[in-house]
A and B are shown apart, each in its own frame.
Chain A
Amino acid sequence: DAGITQSPRYKITETGRQVTLMCHQTWSHSYMFWYRQDLGHGLRLIYYSAAADITDKGEVPDGYVVSRSKTENFPLTLESATRSQTSVYFCASSKTGWNGYTFGSGTRLTVV
């Protein structure tokens, strides 16, 4: 199916575990982004990528790792999950020349 998909939709993990959130888009958009949504903070940028093999930090990158070996995939890894990383994570993509992102449906992550 065309679009942007995130998996899993829901994840519960324990403190200290590594967890990877997946994001896949079928449009070949150059830009991809990871945001987290928290009450009182809105959406905050974690990492973004302008193209395959090009990534850069956003506002809240600590504790997260990203990679982008293929244009269509942009996984987000929490190296050692902490309770403060409990959040809803949104992936988004955008084609060059247009500022309007298309978001995935989100992953709700709970760290216990």
Chain B
Amino acid sequence: DQQVKQNSPSLSVQEGRISILNCDYTNSMFDYFLWYKKYPAEGPTFLISISSIKDKNEDGRFTVFLNKSAKHLSLHIVPSQPGDSAVYFCAASAGGGTASKLTFGTGTRLQVTL
């Protein structure tokens, strides 16, 4: 049973436009959410996170939105750059922000075209 779902396996966006990556979860106990970015032949790297007490967190070009009632979060990248082309994983935990198991989605491959 996939508790964290990324229903779009791939997304293509033009450089300079907004990229929106979506993630849905089913476990009501999840209270901390993260996005990771992964380039080929490298490990995932942490991008941005959000606690369930917030509905938005922003870091430069990256913003994560959380809709708890819909059990949905999204990552917005504005403006998109070619270097953003990677696989993005959504992850969730029930640890209250402390180190604990993360449950990952299946990933969305973002391609930013010129």
Contact = CB atoms under 8 A, between A and B. Distances in A.
Interface stretch (A12-20, A62-70, A103-111): A103-111
Nearest to A105: B43
Contacts of A80: none
A91 to B, nearest CB: 8
A43 interface: yes
Interface residues of B, number: 27
A48 B46 contact: no
Given A95-B99, A96-B98, A97-B98, A102 B106 contact: no
Main secondary structure of the interface of B (DSSP, over half): loop
Interface residues of A, number: 29
Contacts of B106: 40-42
Contacts of B99: 30-31, 50, 94-99
Interface in B6-39: 6, 32, 34, 36
Contacts of B34: 99-100
Given A43-B91, A99-B93, A105-B43, 18 more contacts: A31-B100, A33-B101, A40-B106, A42-B6, A42-B104, A42-B107, A58-B101, A95-B99, A97-B99, A99-B32, A99-B49, A99-B95, A100-B46, A102-B46, A103-B43, A103-B45, A105-B42, A106-B43
11 contacts: A30-B99, A42-B6, A42-B107, A44-B104, A97-B99, A99-B49, A99-B102, A101-B44, A101-B46, A105-B41, A106-B43
